Chains A and B, each alone.
Chain A
Amino acid sequence: MRGLVGPVVGALACGAVLAWSAGSGYAEGLVALGATYSLLALGMWVPFVLGGSLSMAYSVYLAVGGYVVGFGILELGWPLLPCLLVGIVIAVLVAVALGAATRRLSGFYLAAVTLLAAAAFEAWLLDATGLTGGSTGLRGIPLTAIGSLEITRWGLLVTAVVLTWVVAVLFDRLRSSNFGVALRAQRHVPAAVQASGIGTQALSLVGQGLGAAVAALGGAFFAAINSGVGPETFTPNLVFLAIFMPLIGGVRTAWGAVLGAALVVVLTVYVHLPGDAGSLVLSLAALVILLLWPNGLLGQLRAGVDRLSNTLRGGAS
């Protein structure tokens, strides 16, 4: 029963958000941003929250997804679907290569080196004008058709939101599966997991690849929905925000990443606070939540529900 709460409430929330945005270009843009942030946070959730390795290169995977869509459609005349798939494959390969190169690093050193890689990639985006359009990026990506099916901006948005829901549901299942349990265990006791016969470096690489695939999906949809992508679209700053998303929302379920992403969009974009006050409010909120409720908002909610049902049961007997 409990296993259905996440999917059902998540579906209702996704539906409500889509209904709220329908018809307003601005609101649709916010939802597109929310879906992209959610997919980014979900992608990072596997290696970071489950596996305990903080790679900062996720802006690269977002950008790979976005740029391949732009380049494929604009320059090669490809339909959207193969662009999506190629972007995902490239992002996975980059993630596995970077993960293999940094396999002996962890904690601060891993974060620092992957951040450097992300900065280098950003610089490369500006340089490789033939591929990336340099500082202007790739603009005016047309909406293509899949076979006879016309793709609309609204259709893409609905698809992105549905995909977010699907990934959150699948990742929640993954968490409790053999792979998820092994990944969570190697975070704390790698020697014991190795002594059981599981190569922890390979395990972590597979987690990185999976996360990169989901982030690339997010980047691809963002570029397609906004018909453009540029070097300023996915910066390492975004990855800093994404670290806090699951911490705010809750680390024990993938829905925490989605809730955190939604809150970040609301606080930094939707609520018009002067200057950069949104980020300030966000960091304060994150700090307070981390201090008071280490399991995040959803963890706190669940504890509250448990207490309430215990009280009710106690009162009835």
Chain B
Amino acid sequence: MNPPADVLLAAADLTKSYGGVQAVRGVNLEVRSGEVVGLVGPNGAGKTTLVDIITGTQSADGGRLTLAGRRLNGSAARRARAGLGRTFQHPLLALDLTVTENILVGVAARKLGTPWGMVAAVFDGMVRGVVAADVHRAVAAAHVMGLERLDRPCADLTLGEQRLVEVARVLVQEPRVVLFDEPFAGADANGVAGISAVVEKVRDEGRGAILVDHNVDLVSSLADRVVVLDQGSVGFSGTPDECLASEEMQRIYFVGEVSREGVYEQRG
């Protein structure tokens, strides 16, 4: 029952309920090395919940997870150190910190992985302050995303720019599998291009990604495989072309009460 060697992330039988709501019901999912898995589905289908229980932001009720063959469990921080990275549907940035500082959190994470690392970082920080090499990494990642004026507090950024900062923060962690939760919502054309390039880079480097978005065309253009989630379970899984052509897709997704364009307007 061991997954093939090139499977990076394997999820088996994941479930999660919120009170009476079964948000995720017995989901099986694999992400292989160099593979982008698109995850689509109507509002409330359980996409974010799935991302949350894979990354440990929420605890799952049941199921098993492995990353590169190793059991993946414990806190979100531990899973991140094992090689998972994620962005959030509603960008989670410290708004009074600057762009550079928010990305620096991702750079700092490798040194703050253990309590002793933290103690060492306290002494190092008191003596040296901020380390130029770390700032350079953060700034370089910001420039990759096309961000400018990096000493602005994140409160001054547009939603699209905030997405770019989140992507930069996850980029500097160099995760083996990245879970993007609606990274394009609110992004302008440049932002969409920048984030798409990051997704493609993740694939080209032999890492893996899960890409959640409502824009099925965009997801299809980037993903190697598309999984359609419907009311917490996998309704369809296949290549983008198969997905777009499938009857399940038409039934599940396009006959929803919310038009896919409308979704962005509501959130922007």
Chain A interface residues (CB < 8 Å from chain B)? 3, 170-171, 173-174, 176-182, 184-185, 187-189, 191-200, 202-203, 205-206, 210
CB nearest to A187 among chain B residues: B94
Ordered by A's residue number, 16 sampled pairs between the chains whose C-beta atoms are within 8 Å are A173-B125, A174-B122, A177-B129, A178-B125, A184-B101, A185-B102, A188-B94, A192-B88, A192-B93, A193-B105, A194-B77, A196-B80, A196-B85, A197-B80, A198-B112, A206-B118
A178 close to B108 (CB less than 8 A): yes
CB nearest to B105 among chain A residues: A185
CB nearest to B88 among chain A residues: A192
Taking the complex as formed, is B136 at the interface, i.e. its CB lies under 8 A from any CB of chain A? no
Taking A188-B94, A189-B93, A198-B113 as known contacts, 15 extra A-B pairs with beta carbons closer than 8 A to each other, sorted by chain A number, are A177-B121, A177-B124, A178-B108, A178-B124, A178-B125, A179-B121, A179-B125, A196-B109, A196-B170, A198-B108, A199-B78, A202-B115, A203-B112, A205-B115, A206-B119
CB nearest to A192 among chain B residues: B92
B110 CB contact (under 8 Å) in A184, A185, A197: A197
Contacts of B92 on A, CB cut-off 8 Å? 189, 191-192, 195
CA distance A20 to B170 in the complex (A): 53
Instruction: With A195-B76, A206-B118 as known contacts, state yes or no: A173 contacts B128, CB within 8 Å.
Output: yes
Among A181, A191, A199, A203, find the residue whose CB has the most chain B CB atoms closer than 10 A. A181
Among B104, B107, B109, B122, find the residue whose CB has the most chain A CB atoms closer than 10 A. B122
A206 close to B85 (CB less than 8 A): no
CA distance A191 to B80 in the complex (A): 12
Instruction: With A179-B122, A185-B105, A196-B106 as known contacts, state yes or no: A206 contacts B115, CB within 8 Å.
Output: yes
CA distance A174 to B125 in the complex (A): 5
Q: How far is the CB of B179 from the nearest CB of chain A, in Å?
A: 9
B57 close to A170 (CB less than 8 A): no
CA distance A138 to B153 in the complex (A): 50
CA distance A136 to B166 in the complex (A): 58
Q: How far is the CB of A206 from the nearest CB of chain B, in Å?
A: 5
Contacts of B134 on A, CB cut-off 8 Å? 178
Taking the complex as formed, is B111 at the interface, i.e. its CB lies under 8 A from any CB of chain A? yes
B88 close to A181 (CB less than 8 A): no
CB nearest to B135 among chain A residues: A176
CA distance A200 to B57 in the complex (A): 13
Contact with A along B180-202 (1 / 0, CB 8 A): 00000000000000000000000
The B74-91 residues at the A interface (CB cut-off 8 A) are 75-78, 80-81, 85-86, 88
A-B pair number, CB within 8 angstroms: 136
Contact with A along B52-90 (1 / 0, CB 8 A): 000111000000000000000001111011000110100
CA distance A206 to B113 in the complex (A): 13
Q: How far is the CB of A243 from the nearest CB of chain B, in Å?
A: 19
B126 close to A192 (CB less than 8 A): no
B57 close to A195 (CB less than 8 A): yes
Contacts of B75 on A, CB cut-off 8 Å? 194, 199
Chain B interface residues (CB < 8 Å from chain A)? 55-57, 75-78, 80-81, 85-86, 88, 92-97, 101-102, 104-115, 118-119, 121-122, 124-131, 134, 166, 169-170, 173
B94 close to A189 (CB less than 8 A): yes
CB nearest to A96 among chain B residues: B115
Return the 7 tightest CB-CB contacts between A and B, nearest first. Answer: A177-B125, A178-B108, A197-B80, A192-B92, A173-B129, A170-B126, A197-B109
Contacts of A180 on B, CB cut-off 8 Å? 125
B95 close to A188 (CB less than 8 A): yes
Contacts of A3 on B, CB cut-off 8 Å? 129
CB nearest to A210 among chain B residues: B122
Contacts of B88 on A, CB cut-off 8 Å? 191-192, 195
Instruction: With A187-B94, A198-B113 as known contacts, state yes or no: A178 contacts B104, CB within 8 Å.
Output: yes
CA distance A197 to B107 in the complex (A): 10
B77 CB contact (under 8 Å) in A174, A176, A200: A200
A178 close to B107 (CB less than 8 A): yes
B131 CB contact (under 8 Å) in A178, A193, A195: A178
CA distance A170 to B91 in the complex (A): 32
Instruction: With A173-B126, A185-B102 as known contacts, state yes or no: A194 contacts B57, CB within 8 Å.
Output: yes
Contacts of B97 on A, CB cut-off 8 Å? 181, 184-185
Q: How far is the CB of A67 from the nearest CB of chain B, in Å?
A: 25
Instruction: With A194-B76, A195-B85, A206-B119 as known contacts, state yes or no: A179 contacts B108, CB within 8 Å.
Output: yes
A174 close to B126 (CB less than 8 A): yes
CA distance A196 to B102 in the complex (A): 11
Among B57, B108, B124, B130, find the residue whose CB has the most chain A CB atoms closer than 10 A. B108
B118 CB contact (under 8 Å) in A170, A179, A188, A196: A179
Contacts of A194 on B, CB cut-off 8 Å? 56-57, 75-77, 80
Q: How far is the CB of A250 from the nearest CB of chain B, in Å?
A: 14
A202 close to B118 (CB less than 8 A): yes
Contacts of B95 on A, CB cut-off 8 Å? 188
